[in-house]
Amino acid sequence: MTPLKIMLVNPPTERQLFGTGGLFLPIGLGYIASVLMREGHNVEVVDLTIHPKGMEDFKLMVKAAKPDMVGFTAVTPTVNMAIQYAAMAKEAGCGLTVIGGPHVTALPDEALLKGIDVVVRGEGELTMTDIAANPGGYEGIKGISYMKDGKVVHNPDREFIEDLDSLPFPARQLFPDMRLYKGQPVLGNRTPVGNISTSRGCPYGCRFCFKALFGRRFRARKAEGIVEEWAHMVKDFGVKEITISDDAFTTDAKRVHEVCDLLIKKKLTIPWTCSNGIRVNTATVDVLKHMKEAGCYRVAFGIENGDQEVLQAIGKKITLKQVDDAVKNARSVGIKTTGFFMLGGPWDDMRSMQKTIDFAVKVQPDYAQFSIATPYPGSELYDIARTEGELLVSEWGRYDIYETEVYFVMPGRFTREEVLAMHKKAYRSFYLNPTTVMRKLTTFDTYRYLGRSIGGLRKFLLPQWPFGSD
């Protein structure tokens, strides 16, 4: 095998979005980089969310570097930019452009018809090593799509990686300074903040989620490897806080206890969070208490709706009582909570959206995030919005759950204006509620992160609050 010179790129967004760009190191790209390096390839990482470059400047960079392959990762809001920057790489003389990520896994034809050479579907580590080992010889490579004789070819899917511990740690040394990744500054965190993936696959069937990237079968790393990587981030990169980016970290309580035991034993109990959320039905006092002892100070819960019938309809498989218990359990052990709520889904109407707002106020997580249902390609929600509703937004660059955007309406259930009104009302009702206000005024972190909180209000909350502009 001839070693290749490979450039891996995290593209910018088309516009400044709250939820994308510079928050956390793109860990998937880090894994691909480390696996390619293990195979002997020369790898460079370019994160354009941290060090932005215009297309012409990027073209000059590629021309100077002369990579054999340029690979892009892309989520829905960044996919168009990835495709445009790939075209610049082509113009600069790069012979092979590759793209992977959830969006192109769901819609591979779209990227190929716009000039990308190869689409990587699903997990990318082993697929990228196969491409690099035989650039141009695609017939036997699982998990890719490409053009042949003017037609799109989809090779068979690649099996999911069984032994996640066989992967080397993400190549964080190739990325910009860790201090440039800001984590969740609105909520307050200690920089530099690092992120870690301890498992893949979510066994639950929420209809708004796309599962094809990592699958529905829960695959977990062993506690020893997790804690070794944890120590690596702390000692080699000076990380002062860590977020676990898993979709289902607490699925296996025994493993959680093993991780916490090792963190305590090795004196690695720096502050950490579960930013993507944990299941409320797994948030027992026993598990949460041990997490708190090991340094965890904030968890998020995917609550989504305050109507039990709607929770059933979206496949969440939780009860409102479990939500209430989970928030109380966390509060009892001293862990702060964030509640994720969704408004304007195809299963919603004005009544259920009001029930969601009322439930958020009643349950009182420390923070509440109200997103407008976003139909990402590949999800059942996307199919429902297209076939039963009316899609209002076709530009992928506008698809971000943190934005005040109504992507579709369900005729006879709600209008765009009604969803926007309920979204604004949700933030008013929760954050101006006397109980919420008093909790914030009596919480040290409110003053510790006052500057960040004000910045968050300006950037995210003000449009939904009564003193923002319509």
**Nearest CA among 248, 379, 232 for reference residue 302:** 248
CA angle 281, 303, 122 (to 5 degrees): 85
Q: Which is it for strands 272-278 and 241-244: parallel, antiparallel or unpaired?
A: parallel
In this predicted structure, what is the pLDDT of residue 455? 53
**Based on the number of CB atoms within 10 Å of its own CB, is 68 exposed (0-12), middle (13-18) or buried (19 or more)?**
middle
In this predicted structure, what is the pLDDT of residue 184? 74
In this predicted structure, what is the pLDDT of residue 13? 82
Q: Give the C-alpha separation, 155 to 135, whole Å.
A: 15
In this predicted structure, what is the pLDDT of residue 434? 87
In this predicted structure, what is the pLDDT of residue 444? 57
Domains of the chain: 5-154 (3.40.50.2300), 178-464 (3.80.30.20)
| pTM score | 0.91
Q: Are 97 and 111 spatial neighbours (Cβ–Cβ below 8 Å)?
A: no
In this predicted structure, what is the pLDDT of residue 19? 47
What CA–CA distances, in Å, run from 451 to 49, 188, 260, 457, 468? 23, 10, 32, 10, 19
Q: Give the C-alpha separation, 450 to 226, whole Å.
A: 33
Q: Are 270 and 242 spatial neighbours (Cβ–Cβ below 8 Å)?
A: yes
Per-residue pLDDT of the chain (470 residues; tens, 9 = 90+): 789 999 999 999 876 554 444 588 999 999 999 999 999 999 999 999 999 999 999 999 999 999 999 999 999 999 999 999 999 999 999 999 999 999 999 999 999 999 999 999 999 999 999 999 998 889 999 999 999 999 999 999 999 999 999 999 999 999 999 999 888 766 667 889 999 999 999 999 899 999 888 998 999 999 999 999 999 999 999 999 999 999 899 999 999 999 999 999 999 999 999 999 999 999 999 999 999 999 999 999 999 999 999 999 999 999 999 999 999 999 999 999 999 999 999 999 999 999 999 999 999 999 999 999 999 999 999 999 999 999 999 999 999 877 789 999 999 899 999 999 999 999 999 999 888 787 767 765 655 555 555 555 554 455 444 433 33
Q: Are 337 and 331 spatial neighbours (Cβ–Cβ below 8 Å)?
A: yes
